[in-house]
Amino acid sequence: MRGRFVALLGATAMLLSGCGVLSGGLRGVDLPGGADLGDDPYSVTIRFADVADLVPQSLVKVADVPVGSVSDIRVDPQTWDALVTVKVNRGVTLPGNSRATVRATSLLGEKFVELAPPAQGATGTLRDGATIPIAATGRAAEVEEVLGALSMLLNGGGVGQIKTISTELNKALSGNEPEIRSLLTNLDTLVGTLDTHKSEITRALDSINRLAATLAERRGQITDALQQLGPGIQELADQREQLVDMLKALDRLSGVATDVVDRSRDDLVADLRALQPTLAKLAESGQDLPNSLEMLGTFPFTDAAVPAFAGDYANLYVRADLDLKDLLDNLSRSREPLIGPDAPLLNQLPGTAALLAPLLGGDPDRPAFPLLGDVLTPLTPDTPQTSPPPPPPADATTPGPPPGTTTAPPGGGGLLGGILGGGR
């Protein structure tokens, strides 16, 4: 008896000492088949709004590969968030803004924590003692939640109605398998097409969002436009008859115009064909016609004369000597009259000498001017005016002047006398 009692005391002491060693219970013991934490894992604290039935020693996975385990779960007394502490193998490197999700291994399987980098914009490195905020955490839907939502949707609640629902679905789908299969195929094609164009759909939604924002900013202007649109529509309604008459008049005008064009078509085509040679010649003239027009517009100095001037203008000096004495002196130097009896009409005019004699003073010493005629004898009313005799025939002897006939002295008349004064 004494030996059995000593053995019982020894076993009790060993259990008590073991409880001291395992002060945390079996949670502190690494279970076989868990993740390989390595010799020096690092700890990360994760804030969850709900961890469902997650327990310590649950796995921590990255891309469905175990890389750590849950070491502690507690509640924050201030925010009532779940604080989950996990240990991760130091050989696993994750971004500093990684996400954490509580998921299940299967439909009714155990829960685990999944760590994953963000979809885009990964920054930094997840280090020992880091905290993943609640905004980057979440959990998957539970089976009970899915079934409850389905029952609420189909029958207003009650999981017991699933059998009835499935029976009715079987009755509805029986005999329609090809159509249902085609519908599912088309639905798959539709979903695939939408997935392919999701970037365009996103841009369209963003554009609609910007349009809605712009319309919201201009709500006052749109309101004013809509309020002022009513009077304008009312005015159009009041003038409806005038608008209809105008459209009818336009219709009649178009008919008349069409008839005129149809009737004058042949004449118009003929006119255009008649213009064709003229237009062809104008086209053949090329640059000659513009050049000639430039010459007419710039006469007497054409564009070709512009380089001859040093500046932008030209001066022309003309000196005219109109002194009568100098003019008569120049005329007196002429020896031969330029106009004679070959101008009978001019010779019948009054003598220039008779007109200029009063101006010259009738000086008997002034010599005769061949171009002016006899200027020594002024024209008086008593001076007889006789016409020169007709020329004698070629074979007749030139007779003398008949008695009592006054003849002009030799050299009378001259050039200007023949032009302005006939024989005198």
- 126, amino acid identity: L
Mean pLDDT, residues 201-206: 93
pLDDT of the residue at 326: 76
Q: Is the pLDDT of residue 405 over 70?
A: no
pLDDT of residue 411: 45
Given this model, what pLDDT does residue 128 score?
Answer: 92
- φ, ψ at 365 (rounded to 5°): -85, -10
% of the chain at pLDDT higher than 90: 31
Residues 84, 113 contacting (CB under 8 angstroms): yes
Sheet holding 130-132, edge to edge: 130-132, 42-48, 82-88, 65-75, 59-62, 111-116, 99-104, 137-139
Residue pLDDT, tens place only, 146-170: 877 777 766 655 556 677 778 888 8
pLDDT of residue 214: 93
How far is residue 422's CA from residue 408's CA, in Å, rounded to a whole number? 12
**How many whole angstroms separate alpha carbon 94 and alpha carbon 128?**
11
Degrees to nearest 5, angle at CA 263 with 262 and 268: 85
For residue 373, give the DSSP letter.
Answer: B
Task: Please name the residues in contact with 105: beta carbons below 8 A apart, sequence gap of 6 or more.
Answer: 111, 112
Q: Is the pLDDT of residue 371 over 50?
A: no
37-51, 208-222, 298-312, 358-372: which range is least confident on average? 358-372
Mean pLDDT score, 391-398: 50
Q: What is the DSSP letter of 369?
A: B
For 278-337, what is each residue's pLDDT tens digit?
Answer: 888 888 888 887 777 776 666 666 666 666 666 666 666 667 777 777 777 776 665 444
Place of tokens 């118009």: 268
Candidates 132, 122, 147, 130; CA nearest to 102 is 132
Q: What is the pLDDT of residue 420?
A: 44
Least confident of 85-99, 126-140, 226-240, 280-294: 280-294
Round the average pLDDT of the chain to a whole number and report it. 75
Q: What is the pLDDT of residue 31?
A: 58
Q: Is the per-residue pLDDT at 49 higher than 60?
A: yes
pLDDT tens, residue by residue, 73-122: 999 999 999 999 999 999 999 999 999 999 988 877 889 999 999 988 88
How far apart are alpha carbons 72 and 87 in whole angstroms?
9
pLDDT tens digits along 270-294: 999 999 998 888 888 888 877 777 7
* pLDDT at residue 365 tops 60: no
pLDDT for res 396:
46
Residue 372: name the closest of 324, 319, 405 by CA.
324
| Whether 84 contacts 57, CB under 8 Å | no
3-class state of residue 135 by DSSP:
helix
**DSSP β-bridge partners for residue 188:** none
Output the pLDDT for position 171: 86
Residue 392: phi, psi to the nearest 5?
Answer: -70, 160
Tell the residue number behind the tokens 């004494």, with chain if given. Answer: 2
CB atoms within 10 A of CB 357: 23
pTM: 0.34
pLDDT for residue 114: 93
Q: What is the mean predicted confidence (pLDDT) over 3-31?
A: 53
| Alpha carbons within 13 A on the beta-carbon side of 374 | 13
pLDDT of residue 317: 66
The CA distance from 11 to 9, in Å, is 5
Cβ atoms within 10 Å of 104's Cβ, excluding its own: 18
pLDDT of residue 207: 94
pLDDT value of residue 1: 52
